[in-house]
Structures are given as structure tokens and as C-alpha cells.
Amino acid sequence: MALRVTTLPCPSAEPGFFYNVRLITGASGGMLGAAHFVSKLDALQKFDVANDLYHAGRSNPDVMAQRRQLLASLKIAANLEQSNLPGVAQYWALQDMPRSFCPLPYYKDRGWALEEAWRVNLAGALDQPVRALRDGEDAGWRPSLVFAPMLVEDGRRLLVSNLDLDAMTQTSGALQSRRGLYSLSAIEFYRLFPQADQFKLSTAVRMNASFPYASPASALPTVPSRRVVDAGYYDNFGITVAAAWIYSNLPWIQTNTSGVVLIQIRDAVSQTNRQNIGLEEEQDPPSWVERGLKEWTTPIAASLAAREASMSFRNDEQLRDLDHILNRGRSKLDRFTTMVIECPVRAELNWSLTKIEIDAIKSGIAASLSEEMKVVMKSRPRYARLNASNRSRASEVKSLLETPAK
């Protein structure tokens, strides 16, 4: 079998796709899409079992038409297009702002309002406990989710998952001529709260996407209390968790699989900048005001650049190390590979999207473009090229699925 690890969800009409995805992780709102996708797979899995579609390549036109209808009825993508902002904005203005300096805790804030918006817009898909997904994960057909929000007080990650991730929380090695602990870089949620069987999927998603001030930091009931914020503070792409999981499971992967495909789905264009130097000002030339204020803006600009660049380059270095370990000495680089799919347009990608943004995002891997999107792509040639690249990469994913298991 081939083992796929994706940093964000990649819903596919291809039978067998999500049975090959073992782990989904990521940051911010991407994990909202991931959790919604994973939580809606029960009906699809039952249909595939009933129609012997557990593996890609077995298809009957009538059965596949029924499957497409089932996918459409699940509204995996359509539900996410609805705005979640009205209730959040209302609670921010009428509840959170007046209570800004109140030391007493209160329950119904804009974070609660955001979960309520998801409950309505996603038809309750995230109202179930994280533990409710465990049986499907144990059976191997449901991908495992890993949320990794950051603790404000010490910068460690809080790993929320049904998997045993203890090996990923500790960094150890040779220390003063003997094996020792370098650091404790993460804490598992269910080791802190082993009885939290009713901890909701929506709360895990919100913790993973709490980027103040849009949504408030979550507070853990510990002594002293710990604040939890967006996973993007630590790693905005999810590669650190995915790479660490692959590394900690290397013996099993090498013995039981034909290799690993790590699919990266990014919310913006970054691959070209990672591979080339000096494109920033060409793509977004600074105004004369910005040039004149560089002496004052340099510390802030350097901090922001370091945060983003350190994540990107650290991620690529981790993937390089995995490639070295898994493909070492092999003429065919088939034990580990990664592919990148990027959003081809500049979109806000927040809790509310315009129709043109939705259409533009969908066109990123669309087989054909609407007339409206052809005009948009024509006016931005770079986006048109990226759109074609994304479609090519989607075809690569399909061909990988159709490769016979080893």
C-alpha cells in the first residue's frame, strides 16, 4: 500500500482516496475544512463498502453516478462557503468589548458564537466529540486528525488527536555521552485531560484557529491557566507535525507500505519565492512612503519575515531529511515524495468569502474554467499558469491512487 499524509484535506470523488490518507494536519482555518471533511465520511464509506469501491479503479458508471450524488448531498465544500462572521461580530461588539477588562470568566463570547455559526452552517457535523472519530481511525478507513495549537505561556504545542503522539512531544538524543531529554516541545491534550470524552470537534478546530483578535484565545482549566492560540504561530503549514509523525513511525512505514506521499495544500502562492531570491519587490513594489519609512519599519518587517520564512525553510529542511532517509540509495525516488497545490488567486481566506473568491479558489484544480474565471485568469497570467500546475498535480494524485499496491 502507499501511505498518504496530507497537511490539509483533499476531498476527492476518486474511490479509495481517503482510505490511503493516514494523517491530516495543518493550521488555522484549513483544519476547519479538514475536520468537516473527515466528519462527513461515514456515509461515503458505507456506500463504498456496499458497492465494493474500497479501492480506486473499480468503477461502474451507474454506481459512480450515485456516488457523485451522495458526495453532492454531503455538501462537504458547499457548507464551508457560508459566512460565519455575523454572530461573531455581534458578540464582539455587544459582549466582548464591554467586558474587556472584566477579571471574571464568562462563557458566551465570540468564540462560542463562532462555534454556534459552524453548528448551523455545517449542519452539526462538528458537534460530535473528537473521540467519536476513533473507531473509524482504528479501522483504517478514516484519516486521523492532529490539531496542534500553541500554548501562549511557553510556546509549546498542544496536540489534540486520537493517536498516541507521545513520541512526538519529546526531543531526545545524546546528552553528555548518554541518551537524554533535550526538551519537551509539546503536550498531548488527552494526557492532560484523559476523561474529556465529550470534548467537541468544533472546540478543537476553534483552538487550532484562534488568532486574536478575530477569535479569542482559549483557556485551559489548568493551574495556572494556560492560553491556547492558533497553530500558525508555531507552524503555519502543518509540516512539522506531519514530518515528526512520519519519522516516529519509520520502522512501520518501511515494513508495511510502499512509501509516503505528503500532499501540501497551501492557501497562498509561496513556492516560487522559496526557490528564488529577490522576487518580493517585483511582485509587490513598495510605495515611496514605505521606502522612506524603512528605518522605522525594519524591526517589525524583520520579525514578520523571520516568522514566515523560518517556518517555510524549516519545513523544507524537514522534508529534505525525510527524502534522504527514505530514498537513500534508491535509483527511483518512490519511497517518499511531496507535492504542492497552491491557491492560484489572492483571496482573504477568512471566515467570510465573496462569490468571486469562492469561484477563483475552486478554479485552482478545476478541469475547466467558467467564462468569468477565464477573464480573471487572463488578466493575471501568473495565476493562469499556477492553475494549470495545480490541475497537473491533481492528475498526479489520481495516477498515484491508480498505482497497484505493493
User: Which pLDDT does position 224 carry in this prediction?
Assistant: 87
Q: In this model, does residue 324 exceed pLDDT 90?
A: yes
Asked, as a colleague might, if the bond just before 103 is cis with ω within 30 of 0, I would say no
Q: Which of 33-47, 103-117, 231-245 is least confident? A: 103-117
Report which of residues 100 and 315 the model is more confident about: 315
Residue 184 DSSP SS3: strand
Q: At what angle do helices 42-50 and 61-74 cross, to 10 degrees?
A: 170
What is the average pLDDT across 317-330?
Answer: 91
Q: Which of 117-126, 147-156, 214-223 is least confident? A: 214-223
- Residue type, position 204, single letter: A
Residue 143 lies in a domain: yes
Kind plus residue range of the DSSP H or E element containing 306:
helix 294-327
Averaged pLDDT of the chain: 82
Residue 233 lies in a domain: yes
Residue 284 lies in a domain: no
Using 50, 70 and 90 to split pLDDT, how confident is the model at 8? Answer: very low
Q: Which of 101-115, 137-151, 193-207 is least confident? A: 101-115
Sorted by sequence, the CB contacts under 8 Å of residue 331 that are 6+ apart come out as none
* CB distance 278 to 353 below 8 Å: no
Report which of residues 308 and 129 the model is more confident about: 129
What is the average pLDDT across 297-323?
Answer: 85
The most confident of 107-116, 264-273, 360-369, by mean pLDDT? 107-116
Which grid coordinates belong to 267?
A: 492557501
User: Which pLDDT does position 51 carry in this prediction?
Assistant: 85
* CB distance 187 to 149 below 8 Å: no
Q: Report the alpha-carbon distance of residue 235 to residue 186 in Å, rounded.
A: 13
User: Which pLDDT does position 280 carry in this prediction?
Assistant: 63
Residue 366 lies in a domain: yes
Q: What digits encode the pLDDT tens for the residues 219-229? A: 898 888 899 99
Using 50, 70 and 90 to split pLDDT, how confident is the model at 403? Answer: low
Structurally, how many domains does the chain consist of? 1
Q: In this model, does residue 11 exceed pLDDT 50?
A: no
Residue 287 lies in a domain: no
User: Which pLDDT does position 24 carry in this prediction?
Assistant: 95
Return the closest-CA partner of residue 146 out of 162, 133, 126.
162
Using 50, 70 and 90 to split pLDDT, how confident is the model at 4? Answer: low
Q: In this model, does residue 345 exceed pLDDT 70?
A: no
Residue 351 lies in a domain: yes
Residue 406 lies in a domain: no
Q: What angle do CA 7, 12, 17 make, to 5 degrees?
A: 75
* CB distance 156 to 184 below 8 Å: yes
User: Which pLDDT does position 199 carry in this prediction?
Assistant: 96
**Domain span at 78:** 2-279+293-401
What is the average pLDDT across 264-292?
Answer: 70
Q: In this model, does residue 9 exceed pLDDT 60?
A: no
Summary count for the chain: helices (H), strands (E):
18, 12
Q: How far is CA 131 from CA 180, 197, 208, in A?
A: 33, 6, 17
Asked, as a colleague might, if the bond just before 234 is cis with ω within 30 of 0, I would say no
User: Which pLDDT does position 239 carry in this prediction?
Assistant: 94
- Cell 483504517 belongs to 140
User: Which pLDDT does position 367 carry in this prediction?
Assistant: 61
Residue 350 lies in a domain: yes
- Cell 500554548 belongs to 151
What is the average pLDDT across 326-352?
Answer: 77
- Cell 545524546 belongs to 174
Q: In this model, does residue 29 exceed pLDDT 70?
A: yes
